[in-house]
Amino acid sequence: MRRRTTRLAAAAALTTISALALTACGSGFSEGSGAASDGALTSSDDSLTVLIGSSGDAETKAVTEAVASWSDDSGTGAEVSVASDLPQQLSQGFASGEPADVFYVSTDTLAGFAGNGSLLAYGDQLANEGDFFPTLVDSFTLDDRFYCAPKDFSTLGLIINTDMWAAAGLTDADVPTDWDSLKAVAAKLTTADNVGLAFSPEYARVGAFMAQAGGAVTTADGTEATLDSSENVEALTYVKDLLTSGDAAFSSDLGAGWGGEAFGTGKAAMTIEGNWITGALTNDYPDVSYQVAELPAGPGGQGTLQFTNCWGIAADSPNQQAAVDLVEQLTSTDQQLAFADAFGVMPSIQSAADTWKSDNPDQAAFLDSVEFAQGTPTQDGSAAVISDFNSQLSGLKDGDPKTILESAQKNFEAILQ
């Protein structure tokens, strides 16, 4: 599962570059189209091609078997391919007019692909449209059009080393529920050998504090940048205070590649990570005892970030009807639970939630957090802005929160113009 974290980080870096070229990769449809002129889906005897960005062998095997089963039942041929560089290969396929029929789409590439007419907006044609968690639907809705079905998702939680917790004299009653109690337990957990809390120096972790303060990157409709809000200044000021106290640290300052490594190697008693950490701990640090809790509330209430991809369908696909049928099967309750069991993701549909939590009681806090989860930016060009924001956040300990946010604000305003 740590490969999943690495892959996501790499994909974010790649889309920073590739997103700049998306507007040049038209599919032959008019800008912002993504559906047949009469609204009907195309249909043919053509086989489907499915292009995925896999976290590893387990995911590849599970998706390949699921697609093959649907193909056998439907009588429509279908073949799965694993991309080595998904954003680039998608862009090339759209530009050539011969894209894959079905494929993974990340939130930060959605707007670019949708804006040049490469994507079919099919969400409102799904039989299970109402079953997806609303916050996930929001992540794949542009201009009031639900483009594609969320395939699964992750949220951030607070991961606690239970042995260190007990050694510090803490009990279940001390699990932090607000910023004051988080600061207090981080101080109690800090020793000469470890800090109380560590997390990666990036928006994908620090942004959770922004959400807890009542802040966000943009307004709810995504039309105005709000990075330099007083709420976000309060959030970054709180994080800076944690860092300067010595009771928290960025994972990079501890010589770790990510929060899970800092936690697994005993350099931190707590970390903020997604549910992918459970696989990494099982595989790489099996002797570490831990529990998962919801992130504590800030001045604006509880908040976390969510991460997701969707099943995109090409506007140029000659067999859109079969593609929609395939996506309905891949996002069905039974199939999503099978994927969760195979490679550790959380289902994107509400009908699978209770079973997933029953099967994974130690991880229930991750799924319960969907109620207050905030999606990451989806605007075209946002990946480049967030990458620059991450560079500035790495110097937060010695930097000025307001100055960092004002710089990011200007950059985000530029892509919204």
Residues 361-415 pLDDT 10s: 999 999 999 999 999 999 999 999 999 999 999 999 999 999 999 999 999 999 9
Q: Are 146 and 298 in contact (CB under 8 A)?
A: no
Per-residue pLDDT, 387 = 96
Alpha-carbon span 237 to 231, nearest angstrom: 10
- Tokens at residue 187, please? 């101080």
Q: Are 342 and 61 in contact (CB under 8 A)?
A: yes
Q: 304-313 and 373-375: which strand pairing?
A: parallel
Burial of 156 (0-12, 13-18, 19+ CB in 10 A): buried
Which of the 8 DSSP states describes residue 157? E
| Domain map (residue ranges) of the chain | 2-154+307-375, 157-305+378-416
Per-residue pLDDT, 55 = 86
Query: How many other CB atoms are found less than 10 A from the CB of residue 30?
Result: 11
Task: Give long-range contacts, CB 8 A cutoff, 24+ apart: 398-401.
Answer: 399/240, 401/232, 401/233, 401/236, 401/237, 401/240
Per-residue pLDDT, 344 = 87
Fold exhibited by the domain 157-305+378-416:
D-Maltodextrin-Binding Protein; domain 2 (3.40.190)
Within this chain, domains 2-154+307-375 and 157-305+378-416 share the same CATH topology: yes
Per-residue pLDDT, 210 = 98
Residues 6+ apart with CB under 8 A from 87: 11, 14, 15, 18, 19, 106, 109
Per-residue pLDDT, 203 = 98
Alpha-carbon span 313 to 275, nearest angstrom: 27
The architecture that CATH gives domain 2-154+307-375 is 3-Layer(aba) Sandwich (3.40)
Alpha-carbon span 253 to 395, nearest angstrom: 11
Per-residue pLDDT, 22 = 32
Residues 6+ apart with CB under 8 A from 74: 322, 325, 326
90 closest CA partner among 309, 373, 362: 309
Alpha-carbon span 277 to 157, nearest angstrom: 10
List beta partners, residue 313. Answer: 102
> Which parts of the chain have pLDDT scores under 50?
1-38
φ/ψ of residue 310, rounded to 5: -125, 170
Alpha-carbon span 77 to 339, nearest angstrom: 21
